[in-house]
Chain A
Amino acid sequence: MTFRQFALHNVFRNSRLYVAYFLSSMFAVMVFFTFANFAFHPAFQEGDMPSSAMKGMLVAGGIIYVFSFFFVLYSMSAFLQSRKREFGLLMLLGMSSRQVKRMTFIENMIIGIFATTFGIGFGLIFSKVILLIAENVLVIDETLNFYFPTKAILLSLVSFIILFLVISFFVTFVLRTKKLVQLIKSDKQSKGEPKASIFLAILAAILLSVGYGVALYVEGVQVVFALLPVVIVVTIGTYFFFTQLSVFVIRRLKKNKHIFWKKTNMLLFSDLSFRMKDNARTFFMVAIISTVAFSAIGTLFGFQAYLTKGIIEANPYSIIYNSMEDEDVKAKVNDVNKILTEENVKANQEVIESKYYEIGVDYPVLIVTASEYNRLAKLINEDSVDPKENQAIVVEDHHANINNFKNDEKLMETKIPLKDGKEIQAYSTISSAVINEMQAYYIINDNDYKYLPEPVKQSTVAAWVILDATDEKLIEVGEKVSESFIEYNNAFSIDYMVYQIERAYGPILFIGLFIGTVFFVSAGSFLYFRLYSDLDNDQEKFKAITKLGLTNDELKKVISRQTAILFFAPIIVALIHGAVALTALKHFFDYNIVYESVIVLSVFAFIQVVYFFIVRHFYTKQIQKAL
């Protein structure tokens, strides 16, 4: 038996011990690979993905890699901790620290290489399955067909071999400066509670409130600049929150004998404090990962809603046409009508003249008469308006106008001079989508219209509302209209446009969902590993306690609470983080995504509850089996 054989035997013969470490490493590789697989997908590489989306993918890839690094590091250190006694024994037999390092290095590389290979293998199968599901569920149009991802394989292979190499060097730190006595007796020692300091506790509170404050305060483009600092501040804050707060709470509870000495509480809390260091770290990791998952998915749903719903709200008509200066308006309107006849659909139609005037505001303002406005309003069953003579109604800026100039306030203050010497004064503001105009405009009484000065520009707007047609028909009509107006692109069908957005957005949404799900699932497996690494200890403990007399119900209660704390403490924090992040996002888009946020967050909360019940069931069974 040579030294290398010795190290190999260690891995292969003790597979049960190594399997958890192996599986978590493999899982990390699989996630990264599946992601790289999509990121390098030809559809994205050649396609017309906006550069921001590509940048987003890059950032997401980086996050996954960093996450994998810590995930593997965490699994490895947990794994090495459990083997300290073995190392002590080997060193007693005369293994030099260099040999210990060499041994763990060889072991790590074996596991690393296998984990990488299997991870990529399963990743390939997994991607295919996901793609199949995606094609059937989302509007993707086969753009995400299966391909052999050479680049993704190479990237994953290289990245993870490097990762395992680096992590193998970390072994040195885990085993350094430990006296032999400590190593040999290590399985009886608690890792203890992290140091609690008032300074750090206050720091945690400050960091979190500053992070939240900034996230909720900033608006518009500022959100982008605030993003990174806020993420860093909140992450550090969360870390201290868990390490400090959990220590604080449990110490307080242990001091209070009325609570601590009451029934099974003693078991629960003593156990929590015994594993405080591990628990705090797990809580932190899970909270951060889940936050990323919530925010990613929430963002994507919000963004999609912003795009599609925003457009639908802004364009209540089936087809709308805006004339260009040199166009033959009648012919163009006829073109549309011809298409409608060809497709055999009925539609109501209105045509109005929109005229823009220079009235001393920094843009030419649209002024329409009440009768023209009401004609359009009637077409889509909106309320009609009735401004009196010399009075005007201001229609607010369109909410999609990100610049937030608040032109409506300006228009309220401005008076429109008429040719007969009178002035029109605005008296009220309404919000309306009847005319698709980005900036605020006036509606005036028909009688005032003729006294207006010469318009600086004018165009004809024609609008159609198609009656009783299927979605497919609407999209077909829309496609024809778009083709026919390809020169200026000045007529479009809202249904066709939404369809196109959904088609372009489908893959992005899908990948976002995928990443979010993966993060969420890995948060779950973190908890699972945490719980099961303590299984042996728990079995011993409960065996001892049942001998003293612990009913089955009491046992279940203790396990249930223990698991509940583990599962819900980090998730609640993540939900709060996620809610704040989505609120910040709302400020960025200036579009209300409360509905989408609530849906996403409650779906996750629900899944977590289900997950909790499943894990609790099996864990209780495992414990009971040992009794």
Chain B
Amino acid sequence: MLQVKKINKVYQGKVPYRALTDIDLDVEKGEFVSIMGPSGSGKTTLLNLIATIDEPTSGDIFIDGENPHLLSRNKLAKFRRQQLGFVFQDFNLLNTLTVEENIVLPLTLDGKRVKDMKEKADMIAKKLGISHIMEKRTYEISGGQAQRVAIARATIHHPKLLLADEPTGNLDSKSSRDVMDMLTHINKQEHTTMLLVTHDAQAASYSDRVIFIRDGRLYSEIHRGDSQKAFFQKIIDTLSLLGGNDNDFSSVRPS
């Protein structure tokens, strides 16, 4: 489904800075993969490259056999709104629109019929438990609700690949768990491939596989067994091996 081949990213500047070195990554269809690593390890850069927000210095990225970086601007726009979904740490909802309008935005951009959009929005809202706030504006809802709205927006068009950058970063533990449950649910039900960048070992433990990056290189990867709890412990162990800055993970260390 997603193939990342020998990706390099160098930021040009007075002092060129190498953010990613020879990253290779394969993600199966329907797989849920987390990317972890210390601050500055390049995980968000990698996600941005896959999300077509940024361009790699060298190497190729294939999503369903297609390299989006080679598409024309217009085709790329179409590709984004039909194949990709995004969830961000700070939600990035448009505050000029209501919750419902935010959710249907990808469909609106695609010029779908109003009736279809309405149906889909209602369906997904029901599933995510946000039907009662559909008419509200974005500044009238809580962080947890906002992230659910963002997930609804990211999945309403049934994207092939859902990309999430620290989706639990701004949420309390209860909301975090809800959001992760929801993502897992969508992953299982819709067979949406998911790529999650996170600091949060708890959140990462929901995925099938965790990939660790350090200083722009792949460090290791671990697969989930049957138990989420054991997986969580394994993630914590790898993180402490990984080193980096201890403070990065202090909040999720089991006491």
Contact of A1 among B52, B86, B101 (CB under 8 A): B101
Q: Is the CB of A96 within 8 A of B48?
A: no
Measured between beta carbons, the chain B residues less than 8 angstroms from A179 are: 54-55
In B56-80, the 8 Å CB interface with A consists of 73-74, 77-80
Given contacts A13-B96, A14-B95, A89-B92, are A1 and B78 in contact (CB under 8 A)? no
Contact of B73 among A2, A10, A92, A96 (CB under 8 A): A96
Interface readout for A60-91 with B: 1 if CB under 8 Å, 0 if not?
00000000000000000000000000100111
A96-B81 Cα distance, complex, nearest whole Å: 9
Which of B81, B84, B96, B117 contacts A14 (CB under 8 A)?
B96
Do B80 and A92 touch across chains, with their CB atoms under 8 A apart? yes
Does A98 count as interface, using CB distance less than 8 angstroms?
yes
Q: Which residue of A lies closest to B54 (CB)?
A: A181
A561 within 8 A of B: no
Q: Which residues of A contact B153 (CB under 8 A)?
A: 93
Which residues of chain B are within 8 angstroms of A94 by Cβ–Cβ distance?
77-82, 84, 106, 109-110
**Is A109 interfacial (CB-CB < 8 Å)?**
no
Q: B residues within 8 A CB of A13?
A: 96-97, 137
- Once the chains bind, are A97 and B111 in contact (CB under 8 Å)? no
Write the nearest CB–CB distance from B18 to chain A, whole angstroms.
Answer: 17
Q: Please, which residues of chain B bring their CB within 8 A of the CB of A488?
A: none
Q: A93 contacts B55, CB within 8 Å?
A: no
Chain B positions 102 through 118: 1 when the CB is less than 8 Å from some CB of chain A, otherwise 0: 00111011110010010
A99 within 8 A of B: yes
Docked-complex contact B78 and A3, CB < 8 angstroms? no
Which of A91, A93, A97, A98 touches B105 (beta carbons < 8 Å)? A93
Q: CB-CB < 8 A to A93: which residues of B?
A: 80-81, 86, 105-106, 109, 153
Given contacts A2-B108, A89-B92, A99 and B77 within 8 Å (CB-CB) = yes
Q: Is the CB of B77 within 8 A of A96?
A: yes
Interface 1/0 per residue, A88-123 and B, CB below 8 Å:
011111111111000000000000000000000000
The main secondary structure of chain B at its interface with chain A is helix
Q: From A85, which residue of chain B is reached at the shortest CB distance? A: B92
Q: Is the CB of B108 within 8 A of A96?
A: no
Which of A1, A3, A95 is packed against the most chain B CB atoms within 10 Å?
Answer: A1
Establish whether residues A6 and B97, one from each chain, have CB atoms under 8 Å apart when the complex forms: yes
Instruction: For B92, list chain A residues within 8 Å (CB).
Output: 89
Size of the B side of the interface (Cβ < 8 Å), in residues, is 34
- In Å, the complex CA distance between A6 and B105 comes to 8
CA of A344 to CA of B99, assembled, Å: 88
Assembled-state Cα–Cα distance A9/B100 (Å): 13
Q: Which residues of B contact A14 (CB under 8 A)?
A: 95-96
Instruction: Let me know if A6 and B101 touch, CB within 8 A.
Output: yes
Give, as a whole number of angstroms, the nearest-CB distance from A183 to chain B. Answer: 9
CA distance A556 to B35 in the complex (A): 49
Interface membership of A581, Cβ < 8 A: no
| Interface contact B97-A181, CB-CB below 8 Å | no
**B47 CB → nearest A CB, Å:** 12
- Output the residue of B78, B100, B109 with the most chain A CB within 10 A: B109
Indicate if the CB atoms of B84 and A6 lie closer than 8 Å.
no
Tell me the bound Cα distance from A136 to B138 in angstroms.
55
Closest chain B residue to A94, Cβ basis: B81
Q: How far is the CA of A1 from the CA of B120 in the complex (A)?
A: 13
Q: Are the CB atoms of A92 and B53 closer together than 8 Å?
A: yes
Interface check B230, CB cutoff 8 A: no
Interface residues of A in 262-307 (CB under 8 A from B): none
Find the A residue at minimum CB distance from B111.
A3
User: A1-43: which residues lie under 8 A (CB-CB) from chain B?
Assistant: 1-3, 6, 9-10, 13-14
Please name 16 pairs of A and B residues whose Cβ atoms are closer than 8 Å in the assembled complex, sorted by A.
Answer: A1-B100, A1-B108, A2-B108, A3-B111, A6-B97, A10-B94, A92-B51, A94-B80, A94-B84, A94-B110, A96-B109, A179-B54, A180-B53, A181-B48, A181-B54, A184-B53
Q: Which residues of A does B touch, CB under 8 Å?
A: 1-3, 6, 9-10, 13-14, 86, 89-99, 179-181, 184
10 A-B pairs with least C-beta separation: A94-B81, A96-B77, A94-B80, A14-B96, A13-B96, A180-B53, A181-B54, A10-B96, A96-B74, A1-B101
Contacts A10-B97, A92-B53, A181-B54 given; 5 further ones with Cβ under 8 A? A1-B108, A6-B105, A9-B96, A94-B79, A96-B77
